[in-house]
Amino acid sequence: MTAPPPNSASPKRWTRRHLLGLQDLSADEITIILDEAARYKEQWNAGETKFDDLRGIAVANLFFEPSTRTKTSFSLAAKRLSADTVDFTASTSSLSKGETFIDTALNIQAMGVHQMVVRHSTSGAPEQLAREVQCSIINAGDGTHEHPTQGLLDIFTIRSKRQSLQGLTVALVGDIKHSRVARSNIWGLTKLGAKVIVCGPPTLMPVGIEDLGVEVAHRLDDVLERCDCINLLRVQFERQRGAYFPSVREYAHLYGMNGVRMKKARPDVLILAPGPINRGVEITPDVADGKNSVILDQVTNGLFIRMACLALLRRATEVVREETR
């Protein structure tokens, strides 16, 4: 079944061929994606689990970094939209023989691929690829730059619980310096009217982060009672070069969300975490599995967000083809 057309009440339509980040998107464009995901979710809950939006389209997942949730979610999203999917793994590819990143993508495109979902350790890699290929590119996380669909699914989860982002206070807690998720969340949340507090050790706070319109805090306990939502970011040890705090135990003591802190927080506070979570570090098991946690909702909502992104890019491409005929 094909999803219904965009809401006629929406003042804009989606026109972009790529989704490279949330920094360059308007509030209207972000809302179009959220609304499209909401329609898929509504139909899904009504029993519709298969759609024709990408029938005849081939989607390649090009992951140059390990991934569980994002890769599986994109693969399932494409299949739910009736696309053919190809999963690429860098470790078993011709990259090990010296082939370049661009040549690999061009060869995959030559096999008839229409959309590429790209995760890469280098910031800007998806944008570079978008300049070299004809198919649509979705950024599935690039270095420490952005992870737009994760930001969108976080925002979608909050909106699903609170109806609107306007006036909410959302804290992003943890390794802000190395987090592409934090950057996408900041761009998306602030454009939709939320107040964002970034909280973490000074050593894990990027220089000039205040310029993005956020409040900076270094003590979670100082801002806890003001937060409607708390998004607990993983400490990204794999991206760090050197020691940014004395010990994991001390980090958990100062920034981990636990039962004691939950008692200080608002009764209806939403607890998010992009995953994978480190239980006992950024979050304790009782909080991760507690009534305020929407962590598994995020995973479920990620499917609808990625379905929406894939479908919108396909429609935009079809419109361009029609207009150029």
The reported pLDDT for the residue numbered 313 is 98
- The band of 93, judged by pLDDT with boundaries at 50, 70 and 90, is low
The predicted model gives 156-183 an average pLDDT of 96
The span from the CA of 32 to the CA of 291, in Å, is 30
- The band of 296, judged by pLDDT with boundaries at 50, 70 and 90, is very high
Same domain, 227 and 170: yes
Same domain, 157 and 191: yes
**Cβ 301 vs Cβ 156: under 8 Å:** yes
- Half-sphere exposure (CA, 13 Å, Cβ side) for 265? 23
In a domain, 19, yes or no: no
The reported pLDDT for the residue numbered 297 is 98
CA-wise closest residue to 146 among 38, 255, 21, 257? 21
Same domain, 160 and 268: yes
Helices (H) and strands (E) in the chain, counts: 11, 9
The span from the CA of 97 to the CA of 91, in Å, is 10
The answer to whether residue 9 scores a pLDDT higher than 70 is no
In a domain, 235, yes or no: yes
For the four alpha carbons of 231, 232, 238 and 239, in that order, the dihedral sign comes to positive
The predicted model gives 185-194 an average pLDDT of 98
The predicted model gives 269-285 an average pLDDT of 93
Find the CATH number of the domain harbouring 174. Answer: 3.40.50.1370
What torsion do the CA atoms of 238, 239, 241, 247 make, to the nearest 10 degrees?
-60
Q: Which residues contact 312 (CB under 8 A, 6 or more apart)?
A: 14, 32, 33, 36
The span from the CA of 286 to the CA of 296, in Å, is 14
Same domain, 78 and 62: yes
Full residue range of the structural domain in which residue 270 is found: 148-299
- The band of 96, judged by pLDDT with boundaries at 50, 70 and 90, is low
The predicted model gives 208-235 an average pLDDT of 96
The answer to whether residue 320 scores a pLDDT higher than 90 is no
The span from the CA of 233 to the CA of 211, in Å, is 20
Same domain, 98 and 226: no
In a domain, 10, yes or no: no
Give the tens place of pLDDT for each residue, 229-257.
Answer: 999 998 865 544 445 565 888 899 999 99
Percent of the chain having pLDDT more than 70?
88
In a domain, 233, yes or no: yes
The reported pLDDT for the residue numbered 322 is 56
- Class of residue 300 by CB neighbours under 10 A (exposed 0-12, middle 13-18, buried 19+): middle
The predicted model gives 91-113 an average pLDDT of 81
- The band of 97, judged by pLDDT with boundaries at 50, 70 and 90, is low
- Mean pLDDT estimate for the chain: 90
Instruction: Give the count of domains, the chain.
Output: 2
In a domain, 33, yes or no: yes
Longest CA span, the chain = 63
The reported pLDDT for the residue numbered 147 is 97
- The band of 148, judged by pLDDT with boundaries at 50, 70 and 90, is very high
Q: How far is CA 280 from the centre of its chain?
A: 24
Look at the pTM and tell me if it is higher than 0.85. yes
